Structure 1
Amino acid sequence: MQKMTFACLSVVCLLAFLFWPIPSWADDPLIRNDYALELLNAGEYEKALEQLQKAFSFYPYDETLRKNLAVAYMYMGKKELENNRYLEAAENFDHARELSPGNSTYGMMRGIAFYLAKNYDASKFELRRAIDDGNRTTDIYYFLGRAHYDSGELESAVESLVKAQELEPGNKVVADLLEKIRREVTVESKMGKGHSSKFEISYDTEATSSLADAVLDALETAYNQVGSDLDYFPSARIPVILYTKKDYRLVTSSPEWSGGLYDGKIRLPIGGAAELTPQLKAILFHEYTHVVVNELARGNVPTWLNEGLAEYEGRREYNPPMAELGGVAKIGSYLPFSSLEGSFGGLSSKQASLAYQQSYSLVNYMIGAYGWFNVKEILVNLGRRISVDAALSKALGGFAMDYAGMVREWQNYMRKEFGR
């Protein structure tokens, strides 16, 4: 009896709902448009996009709706860029361009998204297309120059950056990059070339092609080993450059103790090396690890974690003594990790040795205590542009661990190992 009464009431409620008058604005595209603009101003881009899509479906020939829908797609694209979802951003910018083909800004933004995704061929195509459509700004020539530069097309990069500089002579970012590339052109124009499936190499005439081939083989091994550890395999081909020591200092302006550099390209001073030594192989593994770490963390990574992971991979190939760390561990006078989050470039040779060894020791402890999965999770969290403390706490929540607690645990471990 009770069930029947409930059923009857349900039917009555359903009928009432079906015949309830629909609000007049629900099918009014103009009201939806105004509501969407309010949502856009409030930063509610997904909801605004949904409203404009519905409005546009009713009036697909309304130019105001068409332009506003394009703007909503642009805002969604920018949001995806901020979240490091570059291909999704490119898709949104493409929708915007289809709706408003006369607006070349959307094509430029699509080209920038492809550049950030390391799809340089697609980036160059889109940026040139936007230039042909009349978009001749500093930004578009700057990113076109970067796409050429990262593709190893130095002369084309210079050409694009010169145009950017002509439009904005006081732009320091453009000027600094242009100066850097011109130094590289001077050195690299006479280099030999080679490539493997994942790497392309330029090498000074002091190096032999057999050494270049051995370097490529070692890097292919590093690609698989580091990729297996961090479960990540970059898709773009990675440039590698072997310099004389003199040219390395000229191009990179690195400190005297620097044995290699990754700045989007792996750069190594090989001196008079004629064969692949264990030390050189360790440096290759070290520098390649930076490639993976920077892609996972989108460049937002503390130096101690970046260098610690690189040292971990390099020391699996060649593991020299850690005298500086052993000395400070006995008295507990470590460098604060907060001071190791920025560049090591200003450190003396002895300070740099301690910084690298201390970074390696903490990362080695992290891998043993928490596993590779959680270490990768820290990098992925950092790639979402959150703080180091938040990234660690989120990844190590199952261990009830935060940044300070992890460092304390490592110090306790070191105390047991070295005594005080």
Structure 2
Amino acid sequence: MQKTHYISLSALLILFLTLLTSLPVCANDPFVHNDYALELFNRGEYEKALEQLQKAYSFFPYDETLRKNLAVTYMYVGKREMEANRYMEAADYFDHARELAPDNVVYGTMRGIALYLAKNYDAAKYEFERVRGISGDTVDILYYLGRVYYDTGELTAAIECWDKALALDPNNKAVREIVEKVRREAAVESRMGKEHSSKFEISYDAEVTSSLAGGILDILESAYNRVGSDLDYFPTARVPVILYTKKDYRNVTESPDWSGGLYDGKIRLPIGGATELTPQLRAILFHEYAHVVIHELTKGNVPTWLNEGLAEYEGRRELNPPMAELGKAAKHRGYLTFPALEGSFGAFNNRQAALAYQQSYSMVNYMIGAYGWYNVREILVNLGKGMPVDAAIKKALNGFSLDYPGVVVEWQAYMQKEFGK
């Protein structure tokens, strides 16, 4: 940020005295607004600083200092929107900054990243290519452009971008890890058949028949409607679905042996050799699609127990097997702690994983019954705003005078009543 210096010392003294007695007299002075904005900016009050600079710039739109300060402030407000997971709002602020400084590649790059995170892939791709035309290739631009290609199923183009990024920075660990992962995927997916529906694009191994793939698409469309109705959210971007042989699934995803599917931006399922649409397969499809909706509502800021619990809830409406591990835990109060269930289940053994999923489902099932879908959805929305889980629960359940530990206590009392001695 730069401060203007167009006023003499005597004028500054007069200005200072005037501000003390009658600020409205100088309300149209752009440099008063600029200097006040600078104070606000340095205190981290970016939105208020932006208001002052917008006023200053409207009075004196040809001043380069005001233009630069306004652009920088737009960027900082945009970054704050990004941190709150309001990606399209952030993209708008970065766009204002870019308009003020068209050759500044930082603003265009940030706008592209915000559009990518908002899943506005076409606009993101256009923005990254526009910035490349100004700056040439950079690691950041190539990394995110590769992500756009990857998320839209263009694996070869994604790998090409990341190879160029590695040529610029051979020691970049993040780029190297993702390109190695996607090379494994591309080697498998290159021989797959493809079909699509209005909301899903499916790739499937030769062991999966076209009729089975079509049936899976139909089930996913049903999941789209039911889960969307439950959570009052319907994603707009087409969801990639990949059906693997069990061997390819393990090689590509490096998942634990007990994993029957995962969602990492794409729904991945090990169903090679399946010949019919069983209730178990329907349950898995509803489960994995629920993760799509949960991820978009929370922007990925969700404890695993809530994520898996909701997915299990949707899957168990199709097939509800016994919960033996949870029954044992309830009788001896041998539950896993919920803080332990906030992170990945990937390191659990088979028994621990079974208990983790069953306990997560039980908690979510209790919450839906006790507090209603609306309040459970509000927890997800609060998480999507960047709140930690304890604050998200407390705000959503304020009408019940409950916080996170209080919900756990109520659930444990319910479990003791239902399953305890």
TM-score by shorter chain over 0.5: yes
For residues 297 and 71 of structure 1, the distance between their equivalents in structure 2, rounded to whole angstroms, comes to 29
Pairwise mapping of residues 58-137 of structure 1 onto structure 2 (< 5 A)?
Answer: 58-137=59-138
1:144 corresponds to which residue?
145
Partners of 1:258 and 1:207 in 2: how far apart?
A: 19
- 5+ long unaligned stretches in structure 2: 1-20
SS at 1:330's partner residue?
Answer: helix
**Is residue 371 of structure 2 the alignment partner of residue 370 of structure 1?**
yes
Deviations 1:73-103 (A, max 9, x none): 1111111111111111111111111111111
Does the residue aligned with 1:202 lie in a helix, a strand or coil?
A: strand
Query: Over residues 314-360 of structure 1, what are the superposed CA-to-partner deviations in whole Å (9 max), with x where a residue is unaligned?
Result: 00001111111111211221111111111000000111011101110
> What residue is the counterpart of 2:9 in the other structure?
none
- Tell me which amino acid in the other structure corresponds to 1:264: G
Q: Give the conservation status (yes or no) of the 8 Å contact 1:230–1:372.
A: yes
Q: Which range moves more in the overlay, 214-223 or 403-412?
A: 403-412
Cα distance in 2, alignment partners of residues 61 and 123 from structure 1: 30
User: What residue in structure 1 maps to residue 408 of structure 2?
Assistant: 407
Equivalence for 2:38:
37
Partners of 1:94 and 1:390 in 2: CA distance: 32
Tell me if the contact between 2:72 and 2:97 (Cα under 8 Å) persists in the aligned partners.
Answer: yes
Are the aligned partners of 1:211 and 1:275 in contact in 2 as well (CA < 8 Å)?
Answer: yes
SS at match of 1:101: coil
Structure 2 residue aligned with 1:346: 347
Indicate how the Cα distance of structure 1 residues 367 and 21 shifts in structure 2: closer, same or farther if over 3 A, else same. closer
> Is the CA contact (8 Å cut-off) linking 1:25 and 1:32 kept in structure 2?
no
Residue 22 (structure 1) shift: 5.5
The residue matched to 1:339 in structure 2 has which SS?
coil
Q: 1:202 is matched by which residue type in structure 2?
A: S
Shift of 1:21: 5.8
For residues 94 and 136 of structure 2, what CA distance do their matches in structure 1 show? 15
The structural deviation recorded for 1:154 is: 0.2
- Aligned-pair identity (%): 71
Aligned residue identity for 2:172:
N
CA contact (8 A) 2:81 2:90 kept: yes
**1:265 corresponds to which residue?**
266
Give CA deviations for 1:109-150 in whole Å, capped at 9, x if unaligned.
111111000111111110111011115321111111111100
Amino acid paired to 2:344:
S
- In structure 2, the partner of 1:205 is 206
- 3-state SS of the aligned residue for 1:337? coil
The separation in 2 between residues aligned to 1:31 and 1:407, in whole angstroms, is: 54
Q: How far did 1:65 drift?
A: 1.2
In the alignment, is the contact (CA less than 8 A) between 2:54 and 2:70 conserved in 1? yes
CA deviation vs aligned residue, 1:221-248 (integer Å, no higher than 9, x gap): 0000000001111111100000000000
User: What is the alpha-carbon distance in structure 1 between the residues aligned to residue 295 and residue 153 of structure 2?
Assistant: 19
Greater alpha carbon shift after TM alignment, 202-211 vs 385-394: 385-394
Deviations 1:187-237 (A, max 9, x none): 000100111111101000110111111111000000000000011111111
Between 207-216 and 42-51, report the one with greater CA deviation: 42-51
User: Quick one: which amino acid aligns to residue 354 of structure 1?
Assistant: L
Instruction: Give the match's secondary structure for 1:239.
Output: strand
More deviation, 341-350/69-78: 69-78
Equivalent position amino acid for 1:57 in 2: S
Contact 2:243/2:272 (CA < 8 Å) preserved in 1?
Answer: no
1:389 CA drift (Å): 1.3
Distance 1:272 1:136 in 2: 44
Q: How many residues align?
A: 401
Equivalent-residue separation in structure 1 for 2:194 and 2:396 (angstroms): 42
CA deviation map 1:281-319 (0-9, x unaligned): 100000000111111111111111100000000000011
The aligned amino acid for 2:68 is: K
1:30, CA displacement in angstroms? 2.0
Distance 1:22 1:309, change over 3 A: closer
Assess, with a 3 A threshold, how the Cα gap between structure 1 residues 22 and 374 changes in structure 2: closer, same or farther.
closer
Question: Which amino acid counterpart does residue 104 of structure 1 have in structure 2?
Answer: V
State the partner residue of 1:11.
none
Cα deviation for residue 24 of structure 1 reads: 5.0
In 2, distance between residues paired with 1:50 and 1:419? Answer: 60
TM-score (norm 1): 0.93
* Structure 2 equivalent of residue 7 of structure 1: none
In the alignment, what sits opposite 1:227? 228
- 1:336 counterpart letter in structure 2: T
Q: Residues 132-181 of structure 1: CA distance to partner in whole angstroms, max 9, x if unpaired?
A: 11153211111111111000100010011112222222221111111110
Q: Which residue of 2 aligns with 1:321?
A: 322
CA distance in 1, matches of 2:386, 2:85: 9
**Aligned twin of 2:302:** 301
| Residue matched to 1:291 | 292
Please state whether the residue corresponding to 2:202 is helix, strand or coil.
strand
Alignment-derived partner of residue 10 in structure 1? none
Q: Residue type of the partner of 1:353?
A: A
Distance 1:47 1:388 in 2: 29
Q: 1:27 to 1:361 in 2, by over 3 A?
A: same
For the Cα contact (< 8 Å) 1:104–1:135, is it kept in 2? no
- Residue of structure 2 equivalent to 1:253: 254
- 3-state DSSP class of the match of 2:344? coil
The question of whether the paired residues in 1 share the 8 Å contact of 2:112 and 2:127 is answered with yes
Question: For the Cα contact (< 8 Å) 2:205–2:272, is it kept in 1?
Answer: no
- Contact between 1:49 and 1:69, CA under 8 Å: does it hold in 2? yes
Instruction: Name the stretch that deviates more: 313-322 or 52-61.
Output: 52-61
